[in-house]
Structure 1
Amino acid sequence: MTLQTPNIAVRVVRIEQASPLIKRFTLQAADGGPLPAFSGGSHVIVQMPTASGLIHNAYSLLSSPFQLQQYQIAVRREEASRGGSAFMHEHLAEGDILQISPPNNLFALHASSGRQILIAGGIGITPFMSQMEELQASGAAFALHYAFRSREQAAFVDELTARYGEHCHFYDAAKGEQCNVAGLLQQMTGQDHVYVCGPQSLIQAVQAAGEAQGIPPARLHWEQFAASTQGGEAFTVVLARSGREIRVEGEQSILQAIEQDGSVAVDCLCREGVCGTCEVAIVQGEAEHRDQYLSEEEKAAQKSLLICVSRARTSRLVLDL
């Protein structure tokens, strides 16, 4: 489970205010060389040294996969930040060095002769920006449907319009405009694929519309921009190999608590309970599973859990770490 992938040192060369709540960060390799190749929909995990310890957050790459001299990410300032977005918005400056993971893609485009339909809500626009670079370069048929609370709070609208023109459709809630998800899916042909990223409510609306219309699950793809952990009671995790005990607070994930403790290295490529890289065997105790990776049978067996989103039903949880 512990992949311990090597980090990449990058320098922050530009910080832009993309909207009142969103900043765009341009990163270049600290050694001046090219960065690793990536495909549209990829993300990197940024390591942030905060006062409470290291925080690791995943951010989609916005920049073109064809330009590897720099990466770009966008970060929304969250009111209830646990330290990540606050660090990026308030403490990071141009010239600073960050450590990031190599790119990983859990939201890749699928080869198809049909259209690629991209549905974004708010900051969920980010993975689609690199995907559209690939789609336009290949001459593929695609359409972006981007919903946001207001034009003032939306990021990248002018940039998207200038680059992709009639491929883009915008929905401003402040003007009473809504994206008719069911209507979009009704227009799908047998080779079309749909991708959605944004709030859980938007993802669920696409899933429900797809199921109602009998669209095969293989043609519906989604990515959450934040793990849907609702928190819970605090509990203690015991690392079986060392006997070390770590307290996991109510609004903290097991992964975050272990990272802040720093006594053992763990990896997680998604931090959203979908990729399975942080699966850990349960030695003692019972898990409250919140992932989208394990089957219902595996969850009931209580043999393992994904530490990025799942929690404990017992006051102590002993893990094979």
Structure 2
Amino acid sequence: MEDNLSLRVAERAEDRGGILRLTLAASDGRELPPFEAGAHLDIRVTGEGVDLWRQYSLCGDPRERGAYRLGILKDPASRGGSRALHALARPGAVIEASAPRNHFALAEAAPRSILLAGGVGVTPMLAMAHRLHALGRDFELHYCTRSRAVTAFLEEIDAAPFRDRVRFHHDDEGTLYDPAALPAPGEGAHLYVCGPQGFMDWLIEAAERAGYPSERIHREYFSADVELSGDSFEVEARASGVTVTVGPDETIAKALERVGIAVEVKCEEGVCGTCLTTVLEGLPDHRDVFLTPEEKAENAEMTVCCSRALSARLVLDI
């Protein structure tokens, strides 16, 4: 990608809960491109037997231009990306990354914002808290973890100007967040949810039951449990003039690659939206967590890294 950045690991710190905190600076010492609260970097992870692109949220103050700050969980269920970064991202190491991208943007004019973070899902929420504080907005950050002993960023939050807006919830202390505490939907609050999939699904379902409209429930999944297999179907890549059969255990992206059509894929879980493709004909079987329910109902686009077909044939603008 033409806009990729060369970043140097300026600082590295091991935090609680298996979270690696990285400070990245431009390799050439220049000022970094600005980012908005909620943005992430696509990072190329090479070494330790992997060559992958993975997405990590920026957790620093968006007003800072000299560094990007990340928090990366060493996930035991990882397919290799987080483990490799924990091993390779030493001070002085050079990392290839995209310019900041944002699929989890703040509605900055909202009368109130409720930030709901589970574990490492706090990373984009910290950037949001910095921004909302700078704007003088009304907000709360609820940070949920299994215990205080595995809660990262404690010292940073304690020193932050918004520390009085943060509420901690630890499973082992019986202080779980109660969705009944959400503001009434009629008050105009916007909700932001990020964390493990089960945590997110629980809170999103509670908010929907309470009457929150989908446009005021903002979500970002770091990973998702996705079933990739299913019945075979046909895909016509109309712009390329090629038709291919997608096998039962094959993704659309892999089937297209097999016949020489390269589709850029990064997360492989329907999380990042990199492979989003226009649907010209047919009915997709949406298995991603990137598109909203309304967008899925429109069937205008689909993620070809994980989604399949409900019709016997799909025609895609590839």
Query: TM-score, normalising length from structure 1?
Result: 0.80
In structure 2, the CA distance between the partners of 1:197 and 1:115, relative to structure 1 (3 Å rule), is same
**In structure 1, how many angstroms separate the alpha carbons of the residues matched to 2:50 and 2:233?**
18
Counterpart residue type for residue 91 of structure 2? E
Superposed CA RMSD: 3.8
In the alignment, is the contact (CA less than 8 A) between 1:112 and 1:192 conserved in 2? no
In 2 relative to 1, CA 284–87 (structure 1 residues): closer, same or farther, beyond 3 Å? Answer: farther
- Given the alignment of the two structures, is residue 117 of structure 1 paired with residue 114 of structure 2, yes or no? yes
Amino acid at match of 2:6: A
Contact 1:185/1:210 (<8 A) preserved: no
User: Is the counterpart of residue 141 in structure 1 residue 142 in structure 2?
Assistant: no
Deviations 1:123-178 (A, max 9, x none): 11010111111111121111111110111111112321331222110011012221
Match of 1:85 among 64, 69, 82: 82
| Larger displacement relative to structure 2 (39-48 or 151-160) | 151-160
| Identity between Structure 1 and Structure 2 (%) | 34
Quote the residue 1:181 is aligned against: 179
Q: Is 2:115–2:192's contact at 8 Å kept on the other side of the alignment?
A: yes
Larger CA deviation: 13-22 vs 279-288: 279-288
The answer to whether residue 44 in structure 2 is matched with residue 47 in structure 1 is yes
The SS at the match of 1:34 is coil
Which one-letter code corresponds to 1:210 in the other structure? A
SS of structure 1 residue aligned to 2:38: coil
2:264–2:274 CA contact under 8 A, matched in 1: no
> Per-residue CA shift, 1:204-223, capped at 9, x if unaligned?
23322222222232222111
Match of 2:214 among 217, 222, 237: 217
1:208 and 1:93 mapped to 2: Cα distance?
A: 40
- Which residue is 1:168 aligned to? 166
Q: How many Å apart are 1:185 and its aligned residue?
A: 3.6
Could you report, residue by residue, the CA deviation over 1:269-319 in whole angstroms, capped at 9, with x for unpaired residues? x876467552336899996421235533528xxxx63123325789x9997
SS at match of 2:148: coil
Given that residues 279 and 299 in structure 2 are in contact (C-alpha distance below 8 angstroms), is that contact kept between their aligned partners in structure 1?
no
1:233/1:155 Cα in 2 relative to 1: closer, same or farther (>3 Å)? farther
Give CA deviations for 1:202-243 in whole Å, capped at 9, x if unaligned: 222332222222223222211112134245479999996598
Query: Corresponding residue for 2:297?
Result: 296
Residues 210-249 of structure 1 aligned to structure 2 (within 5 Å)? 210-232=207-229, 241=240
Q: CA deviation at 1:109?
A: 1.1
For 1:257 and 1:53, the matched residues in 2 are separated by: 22
Structure 1, unmatched stretches of 5+, are none
Structure 1 residue identity aligned to 2:221: Q
Change (3 A) 1:298 1:313: closer
Distance 1:83 1:18, change over 3 A: same
* Compared CA separation, residues 239 and 99, structure 1 to 2 (3 A): farther
Structure 2 spans left out of the alignment, 5+ residues: none
Does the CA contact (< 8 Å) of 1:50 and 1:83 recur in 2?
no
Question: 1:266 is matched with which residue?
Answer: 264
Q: How far, CA to CA, are the matches of 1:313 and 1:61 in structure 2?
A: 37
C-alpha spacing 1:69/1:149, structure 2 compared with 1 (3 Å): same
In structure 2, the CA distance between the partners of 1:210 and 1:74, relative to structure 1 (3 Å rule), is: same
- 2 CA distance for matches of 1:223 and 1:236? 30
Question: In the alignment, is residue 309 of structure 1 matched against residue 310 of structure 2?
Answer: no
Q: Secondary structure at the match of 1:305?
A: strand
Summarize the alignment of residues 188-207 of structure 1 with structure 2, pairs less than 5 Å apart: 190-207=187-204
Aligned length: 311
In the superposition, the TM-score normalised over structure 2's length comes to 0.81
Q: 2:30 and 2:123 mapped to 1: Cα distance?
A: 25
Larger RCO: 1 or 2 (CA < 8 Å, sep 6+): 1
